[in-house]
Amino acid sequence: MAFTSKDVMELRQRTGVGMMDCKKALVATDGDMEKAIDFLREKGMATAAKKEGRIAAEGIVYAANKGGKYVLLEVNCESDFVAGGPVFREYVDKVAQYILDNPVPIEDVIAAMQPVTNEYVMKMGEKLSIRRYALYEENGSKVDTYIHMGGKIGVLVEASEGTAPEVIHDVALQIAAANAQYVTKEEVPTGELEHEKEVLKAQALNEPNPKPLAIIEKMVEGRVQKYYKEVCLNEQVFVKNNELTIGQYLKQNGGAKILRFTRYAMGEGLQKRQDDFVGEVMSQAGLK
C-alpha cells in the first residue's frame, strides 16, 4: 500500500513521533496507518509522545566540565521522585556530555538527543524536557560551578585568571544566595535604570505628605543606590561577612574580578510555589 507525505504528517499528528520515524513505520507496515501506530507503540515511541502534553516542572540544575569547558543546564521531569533518582541523573549527564562535545543551540541539542530522551522516557514513565544551558570555557580565566541542594540552584562563574578556588567558590555561593542580576553597576541597562527611577519617584510622590521635588530627587538617588546593592554582585553585602561588599572582598583577595556568571533556579517560571532560596542556601552554608 502506497503512502504520501500527508500520511506521514497525519501519523506524526496522531502519535507525536518524529517525521523520519513515522516514515519508517509506514514503510514497515506497507502504508497502513493503524498498523503504523501499533508499530510505533510497540517500539515505545508513541508512548513517549503521549507524554508530551504533560507539564514537566520538576527536575534539576546540573553542572559538568571537560577539557576546560563547563556547562550548566536545567533538565525537567514531572515529579521530584524521578528528579532525585539515579536514572534521571544518568540521563542528564548524557545531555551534559553531549553539550560539552557539541556546543550547539539548545534546539539542536534537543533534536540530537531525542532518541536518548525517548529511551529514558520509557524507563521512567515521565515527560523529559531539556530546558536551557550555559557553556563557559577557560581562556585566560578561571571558571567554576556550584550546585545547591542536589540541583535546586546552579551557578556558573567566570573570574580573572589567578582567582583562588576558595574565592570563586565564595562568589558562587553569594550568587546562589542573593540572586544578583549583574556584576557591576555599569552593566545595568539604561532603560531598566530609568524605569526603576520612575517607579521610585512615583512611590515617593504617593507617600503621605510628599516632600518637595528637590528632596524627592535626593530620595530617589538614595533608593537607586539601594537598588544597586540588590541587583549588582559587586555592591551586595557578602553573605559570609556583612562588613564587606563582594567588591571589597575581591579587592582584598588580589583584586580578583568576576567577568560573568549564570544562575539557574530549577523551575523558575514553571514552579507553582515560591522557595526561600536565600535562607536555604545560607542555612546549608552554616551562615544562618
pLDDT tens for 178-206 read: 999 999 999 999 999 998 898 888 888 88
- The range of the structural domain enclosing residue 200 comes to 189-231
Higher per-residue confidence, 182 vs 269: 182
How many domains does one find in the chain? Answer: 3
Question: Is 95 in the same domain as 45?
Answer: no
Can you give the pTM of this predicted structure?
Answer: 0.75
Q: Which of 143-157, 198-212, 260-274 has the lowest mean pLDDT?
A: 260-274
Question: Is 65 in the same domain as 125?
Answer: yes
Question: Is 64 in the same domain as 130?
Answer: yes
Residue 16's CATH number: 1.10.8.10
pLDDT at 213: 86
Helix axes 213-231, 190-205, angle to 10 degrees: 130
Residue 22 counted as domain residue = yes
Question: Is 41 in the same domain as 67?
Answer: no
**Of 137, 163, 179, which closes a domain?**
137
CA–CA dist 131, 151 (Å, integer): 14
- Which DSSP helix (H) or strand (E) runs through 129? strand 129-137
Residue 122's CATH number: 3.30.479.20
> Cell numbers at residue 67, please?
577539557
Residue 199 counted as domain residue = yes
Question: Is 17 in the same domain as 59?
Answer: no
Average pLDDT, the chain: 89
Residue 211's CATH number: 1.10.286.20
Residue 257 counted as domain residue = no
Residue 203 counted as domain residue = yes
Banded model confidence at residue 288, pLDDT cuts 50, 70, 90: low
Question: Is 125 in the same domain as 194?
Answer: no
Contacts of 103 (CB under 8 A, 6+ apart): 69, 135
Q: Is the pLDDT of residue 228 over 60?
A: yes
